[in-house]
Structure 1
Amino acid sequence: MALKPIDNALPLPQETAKFGANEESKTASLPPPPADPIIDYISSENLEPIPDPESVIHGLVEELDSKNWIKVCESLNNVRRFALYHSLLLMPILEKVMLVVVKAMKNPRSALCKTSIMASSDIFKVFGDQSLDSTNNAFDSLLLQLLLKASQDKRFVCEEADRALNEMVKSMTPLSLLNKLRPYVRHSSPRVRAKAALTISNSVSKMGLEGMNEFGLVSLVQMAADLLSDRLPEAREAARNIVTCIYEAYTRNEEQKQESWQNFCQSNLPPIHAQSMVKITSSQ
């Protein structure tokens, strides 16, 4: 009896080869996927005013929340233009705008992340303390994201976040900023602690003894003492700079500088920390 062919029998080797060649030919003939568009990172100096800002401002927050990331980048640049040239129009919606900037900063797409960081720099530059006082929750979220981005491995994002943190220090009064930065010296990430310590150091360098006392001189010294034993050398170096700034402000009008400083440290710190403080400033 003749055997009937099986419908689902495996193809012969030559048929398999022919099938594979056909598929490769089809794949080769497909057009390549479109490349991501190139994003221009425009410096603040090269941004221009918006021709009709009143009509653009009404849809700004909605455009910032678009699903199209290219559109979001364009809108972030509009935020920068509003901040630089039309700040009175931006002020009433600043908190909403900052929250959407934070959302864009969390995006894994580097171009979107960097553009949002650039927007935060221009917001700090123009609004200064207003970006903190009138947008408390939004500022807290933005500060955390900047510290995280400044701590990551993508160099061009990290460098942009460093610039934003420096602009923040330059534009804001130290006392308000220190109160916001204080929790991050105990962050679980050593890189975040180091960035926070550096930002605190830059803020403290702008303060006199009166401002330090208003913040809490003992608290400031204890914070620096804790950072002196941190894991990363960047945090330890920032702590040494903080100690030097405090010492110079504290002893500016003191006749017995080193003795007065030593007594202050011994009264407010554990012996090992007090010894470290005195050692740092002994050559001043």
Structure 2
Amino acid sequence: MALRPIDNALPITPERPKKQAKVSVPVQKKPSEFGVNDENKAPLPPSADASVDYIPSENLKPFQDPESFIQSLIEGLDSKDWVKLCESLNDARRFSLYHSNLLLPILEKVILVVVKAMKNPRSALCKTSIMAASDIFNAFDEKLLDSTDSGAFDQLLLQLLLKASQDKKFVCEEADRSLNAMVKSMAPLPLLQKLRGYVNHGNLRVRAKAAVSISNSVLKMGLEEIKEFGMVTLLQMAADLLNDRLPEAREAARSIVFSLYKAFRENEEEIEEEAWQSFCQTNLPPNHAQSMVKVTLSSRV
């Protein structure tokens, strides 16, 4: 007997397998070590630096047992953990202010660590190192040049000038304070020898910051110190800066000229204006000599 077909029967189709949902797994980037020196990297977010306290010098305390802690300081300065390094730089500041005799044997190492930290793109580490430089200046003054290799101080000076010239305001202001501490604490003659080369630096902001430090150093000098450094040298330096592009450099140059003019008048038995004009004309190109005389004439108007 034949079977009758079932009415309205639908064809059976196989069920398609369901697609699996894609799961995204975040990939953590390996943090760079402190040893990487790249000033062109973008600064890290402010939240990353939130755990660092910027301690004013007056709030730093001496160690209870500094002799037993000096080795820990040396180890901490070698740390690649930036938070640990900030803590060690603050400890170096405490040694500078209260136990400088213990820091003296490793002072050059400390300076080189400070320089390296200034180059780091992490703002907290950079600022802490600049604060350390200020306390070192205040503690060691001109002895800093006698206790370290000349190259270490040169690196420190360059980094401070560069940091004072950048656009990041809170780093720039801290570097300005450190440069002022340097000028205030150190003897002007050896410092001027270090600064004089930067008035011809290719970076106009560095020139301006160097000019300010030079003018502040010259303000501390008496007649004999100015003569020892060289009146003609200062005259030519000021003349170059008077024609600089930045107002900060030109204002510093005018301050140098006033100090030099005052010393010149003390040195000369005759204080006639012709003697100063002759001095400028003898040692400068005509247009520079004229600018120099105008500056001193304006001071008496």
Give me the TM-score of the superposition, normalised by structure 2.
Answer: 0.82
Q: Equivalent of 2:51, from 29, 35, 38? A: 38
Distance in 2 between the 1:126 and 1:224 partners?
31
Aligned: 1:191 with 2:193: no
What is aligned with 1:83?
96
Alignment partner of 1:274 out of 289, 297, 300: 289
The alpha carbon displacement at 1:253 in A equals 5.5
Q: Separation in 1 of the partners of 2:74 and 2:189?
A: 31
Superposed CA RMSD in Å reads 1.9
**1:19: how far off?**
2.9
- Aligned-partner SS, 1:143: helix
1:158, distance to aligned residue in structure 2 (A) = 0.4
1:220 alignment partner, one of 204, 228, 234 = 234
2:177 maps to which residue?
Answer: 163
Equivalent in the alignment of 1:260:
275
Tell which structure's C-alpha radius of gyration is larger. 2
Deviation at 1:65, TM superposition (A): 2.1
- Mapped partners of 2:143, 2:221: distance in 1: 20
CA shift at 1:55, angstroms? 1.5
Query: Any idea what the Cα deviations from partners look like across 1:119-163, whole Å, max 9, x if unmatched?
Result: 000000010001122212211110000000000011000000000
Letter of the 2:293 counterpart: V
Greater helix share, structure number: 1
Greater Cα offset, 244-253 or 269-278? 244-253
| Residue in structure 1 matched with residue 34 of structure 2 by the alignment | none
Secondary structure in structure 2 of the residue aligned to 1:139: helix
Say whether the 8 Å CA contact 1:61–1:100 is kept in structure 2: no
Structure 1 residue 59 displacement after superposition = 3.2
Gaps of 5+ in 1: 1-10, 28-34
Alpha-carbon spacing, 1:224–1:68, altered in 2? closer, same or farther (3 Å): same
Matched, 1:113 2:126: yes
Aligned residues: 261
Which TM-score applies when normalising by structure 1?
A: 0.87
Q: Distance between the aligned counterparts of 1:43 and 1:260, measured in 2?
A: 50
Amino acid in the other structure paired with 2:240: D
User: Take 2:78 and 2:206, find their aligned partners in 1: how far apart are those partners?
Assistant: 28
CA contact 1:83–1:126 (8 Å) conserved in 2 = yes
Q: Distance in 1 between matches of 2:272 and 2:99?
A: 50
- 1:198-209 pair list within 5 angstroms: 198-209=212-223
Cα drift, residue 264 of structure 1: 0.8
What runs of 5+ residues in structure 2 fail to find an aligned partner? Answer: 1-16, 27-46
